[in-house]
Amino acid sequence: MSAAGNPSPGAQARAYVPDSVETPRMPVTPRHTLPAGACDTHCHVFGPYERFPLQHPSSYAAPDAPAERYLRMLDTLGAARGVLVQPAPYGTNPDALLAAVAQGGERLRGIAVADPTATDAKLQALYDGGVRGLRFVEARDPAGNLFAGSVGFDQVAALAPRMKRFGLHAQLWAPCDTYLRHLPALAKLDLPLVIDHLGSLVPARGAEDPVFQMLHGLLADGRIWMKLTVCRVGTAPDYENARGIHDAFTRANPDQVLWGSDWPFVRMGAAAPSADALVDLAHDWLGNDALRRKVWVDNPARLYGFR
- The residues annotated with a catalytic role in the active site are 262
Question: Residue 210: what are its φ and ψ, rounded to 5°?
Answer: -65, -30
Residues in Cβ contact with 128 at an 8 Å cutoff, skipping those fewer than 6 apart: none
Find, among 77, 70, 62, the residue nearest to 259 by Cα.
77
Count of residues in the chain? 307
61: left (phi over 0), alpha (psi -120 to 50) or beta: beta
Find, among 239, 292, 287, the residue nearest to 262 by Cα.
239
Question: Residue 32: what are its φ and ψ, rounded to 5°?
Answer: -105, 145
Long-range Cβ contact pairs of 136-144 (< 8 A, separation 24 or more): 136/170, 136/171, 136/172, 136/173, 137/88, 137/172, 137/173, 137/174, 138/172, 138/173, 138/174, 138/175, 138/178, 138/182, 139/173, 139/174, 139/175, 141/59
